[in-house]
Structure 1
């Protein structure tokens, strides 16, 4: 018995199609890598931050104070004379109607700035992916933005005639930029150049630094608003605050007044700032700062990125500052 158990099994020959033969199922293959561990679910943040909660509560308190004050005022007016009460009601209704109109205008201005940002983001995506459908949607939005500019009527007609053609997405974006924005870019450069020249002249003759600072801030904010209107945005007060923040953020990302600009190299390399008088030097620097802010405003308010057309440089919009400063310095030296 033990010999039979320990004896090796002899080799046998069989056929796979025999009825007595059964095939064992294949063993499951072991995974080469361990199964991924599911990431822990992020903790849900509060629906409103502490700052948002504070401002909401403050707005509610101020609204209640205004309501109680107005109701007490109207009650006192009716107690004095009935016609005074109705006059108070009329003024209150006019005040509320004006407040609603102002809020509606501010919301519309913020919405238009947001629309410009959205169009520019989709335009960059259409250019990167050469997406014809997305590019056509972007171009139609730009056409609607330019509908309020009478000088672009012929350009809109020409561009609409090319919309039905077989054009790639990137080429359609380039065509829209050349057709619609070339004239606007030229006007924007002129606006920036005029603002920089005015700031340079006024701050050069201004007797006080406080007046210089106030005029530079006023000119820069006014220039940003004008550029936004030129490209289709109509910012109100809140929209202007957002636009200024956007421009300053763009300057922070791009490095502000870059030292590689040709105009800055000309000032530093030729020692022009050292040869100019103190007032003329301050005027040139203030004009350059205004021009740099204007270029940043063009970059953040233009609905399409600069691809087919060259982006304006500091030397393009502020080159006259140096020439004018040199002429004034030469005239002053001749008088001496």
Structure 2
């Protein structure tokens, strides 16, 4: 139907009404819920009909499981069953060995039984240590997530509880004694949750952050020197691996997340993942400009330059580990930067 063919009765049918402009807050505008009033004619009035909204999933709701989740369950069952079979095989082998020892001589049977008891006790101790290590790492992760949430929501009640947990975590650390005393004296004066957590970060974590920065810098310097004078590439690789493992363990111990062997492997995997998320091990143009700017191309041999680069890579790994093992995100205290360490790692004696 063309505009010239329309009749006055078309105003009674909103679905056939011509488009026109109007103000939502105008005096001749009426808002009615539902679609049942659509065909009632109201002269000199504009009727806005609101349609019911579709129900949406609330924020924070648990998403429905995806179809691929079944595969993970079957893999867990597979590895669990295989682990059970291996455990049974080992147990039967030990049982058979002890029976044979008893058959040969009674004292051999007692000796075998005693050794089996010692091995079982050691296994229980190792398992307990690994579980405790995982628990410590999980505590650090939980604190970091809760602190980030409290800072984002400026939750004063949650902030006070988290400050208490942090003070308890470092209650036996001499370097935090002054900070804990200052925190107790000023905590009641702070009413904002974000400000309270920033105060706790400055008082409790700043001494640990300074120690962590020194650990990273010392490890980077050692790697730089050793790989520069080492005659073999294999020695370089082994020493860099040893120094990086040692650095990760010392940083985790410093912040209270002392892991066991399996916990350390999990921590190392998370640090590598964090490196990938935050830019990887690539040093980029900043390093090249810094090296050229300091004239190292003219001062250093190729071997010594390789040592400097290895030291900077170690520092990069250490800085990434700080983000993982630290119980609070960097808020009140600025995080150490690689560019700030370059000058100390690449500092060369004067040639004059």
Please confirm whether the aligned pair reaches a TM-score higher than 0.5, indicating the same fold: yes
Determine which of 245, 249, 256 is the counterpart of 1:232: 256
Counterpart CA distance in 1 for 2:64 and 2:256 is 43
RMSD over aligned CA atoms reads 2.6
What does 1:15-26 align with in structure 2 at a 5 Å threshold? none
What does 1:82-93 align with in structure 2 at a 5 Å threshold? 82-93=106-117
Counterpart CA distance in 2 for 1:41 and 1:316 is 46
1:308 counterpart = 2:332: yes
Unaligned 5+ runs, structure 2 = 1-34, 39-48, 58-62
Q: Which TM-score applies when normalising by structure 2?
A: 0.78
Partner of 2:130: 106
Partner of 1:131: 155
1:53 counterpart = 2:77: yes
Partner of 2:280: 256
SS in structure 2 opposite 1:119? Answer: helix
Larger radius of gyration: 1
Counterpart CA distance in 1 for 2:181 and 2:108 is 58
Greater helix share, structure number: 1
Q: Is the 8 A contact 1:135 1:169 kept in 2?
A: yes
Counterpart CA distance in 1 for 2:64 and 2:109 is 60
Q: Which TM-score applies when normalising by structure 1?
A: 0.82
- Deviation for aligned residue 1:92: 0.7
What does 1:89-168 align with in structure 2 at a 5 Å threshold? 89-168=113-192
Counterpart CA distance in 2 for 1:284 and 1:139 is 40
1:174 counterpart = 2:198: yes
Counterpart CA distance in 2 for 1:192 and 1:323 is 16
Counterpart CA distance in 2 for 1:261 and 1:164 is 48
Q: Is the 8 A contact 2:175 2:207 kept in 1?
A: no
C-alpha change, 1:75 and 1:137, in structure 2 (3 Å) is: same
C-alpha change, 1:305 and 1:132, in structure 2 (3 Å) is: same
SS in structure 1 opposite 2:346? Answer: helix
Select between 61-70 and 39-48 the one with higher mean Cα deviation: 39-48
Counterpart CA distance in 2 for 1:257 and 1:143 is 34
Which has the bigger relative contact order, CA under 8 A and spacing at least 6? Answer: 1
C-alpha change, 1:258 and 1:77, in structure 2 (3 Å) is: closer
Q: Alignment length, in residue pairs?
A: 302
